[in-house]
Amino acid sequence: MPQFFINKENIQEDKILITNLSDINHITNVLRNRKKDRLILSGPENFVYEAEIVSIKPDLIEAQIIDSYFSDKRLKISITLAQSIIKSQKQDFIIQKATELGVRTIFPFISKNTVVKFDSEKDKLFKVQRWQKIVYESAKQCKRGDLAEIKPISIFDEVVNLENFDLKIMCSEKEAAVSIKQFLSKNKVAENANILLVIGPEGGWSDKEIDKFTEKSFASVTLGKLIYRAETAATVAISHIIYEYEL
């Protein structure tokens, strides 16, 4: 059964009001749901509601809550992905797969070798809104109980100065001494650990950027002998973290 997300203000005692026009269109015109059909709705704090449609209007669907429960479909650890922005469809792929893999926060940022250029702050905002829509659709498909958060597009210095993480990991094709597998196996963390993972652009990191990561106590690791595309590197690194700390 398809899953949709709702905000706290959409929940009124024993009823849920769906006001997102895209969701209303999906429910009525794509799924062709009608009165008495049931929906799965994910609310705040990972609570999931099963609700029966009571009424349908062009700008509002009202549903009666039948059941509710806490969803455990989330990682125990909290992964934040900081990704130096890459070309459009590849960046979309990263956002989609990071959501499917349970990443909670995504920091898109601009580094020295970032190829993508933005014409204005409005252009940046449009991109973030587009990526948040991709998060929403991906979360629905994999039935996550929560949504990954897309942060505003930032710059390298903002990312390198991020704090309050149990581990800060930077993947580099220039780093051959320690693999991510070796690093993770030697650095055990608690169930609720916060992990920051940083992936570079198509052109890789500059030497100056690598030095800054070192100064800020980031662990510099390699993903192995092969050189991956940026979008592949992100999924490989996240998978390593999940394998080590979740399974």
For the stretch 64-112, pLDDT in tens is: 999 888 777 788 899 999 999 998 799 999 999 999 999 999 999 999 9
pLDDT band for 48, please (50, 70, 90 cuts).
Answer: confident
- Whether the predicted pLDDT of 145 surpasses 80: no
Residue 176 pLDDT: 63
* 187 has a pLDDT exceeding 70: yes
3-70 is classed CATH 3.30.750.210: no
Does position 35 have pLDDT exceeding 90, yes or no?
yes
Q: Which long-range contacts (CB under 8 A, 24 or more apart) does 119-128 make?
A: 124/152, 124/153, 125/152, 127/153, 128/152, 128/153
Q: State how far Cα 204 lies from the chain centre.
A: 22
> If you average pLDDT over residues 220-237, what whole number do you get?
90
Under CATH, what is the fold of the domain 78-245?
Alpha/beta knot (3.40.1280)
pLDDT band at 1 (very low <50, low <70, confident <90, very high): low
Locate the domains of the chain by residue range: 3-70, 78-245
Range with the lowest mean pLDDT among 64-78, 124-138, 182-196? 64-78
Report the share of the chain in percent with pLDDT over 70.
98
Higher pLDDT, 242 or 227: 242
Q: Which residues pair with 12 in a beta bridge?
A: 15
Specify the range with the lowest mean pLDDT, choosing from 59-73, 117-131, 204-218: 59-73
Minimum mean pLDDT range among 69-73, 166-170, 221-225:
69-73
Decide whether 3-70 matches 78-245 in CATH topology.
no
80, 98 contact by CB (below 8 A): no
Instruction: State residue 44 phi and psi, 5-degree precision.
Output: -65, 155
Give the chain's mean pLDDT: 91
More confident residue, 181 or 177: 181
**pLDDT(171) > 90:** yes
Indicate whether 59 pLDDT > 70.
yes
Which pLDDT value is given to residue 65? 94
DSSP characters for 185-230?
A: HHS---TT-EEEEEE--TT---HHHHHHHHHTTPEEEB--SSPPPH
pLDDT, residue 68, reads 84
- Paired with 199 in beta bridges are 83
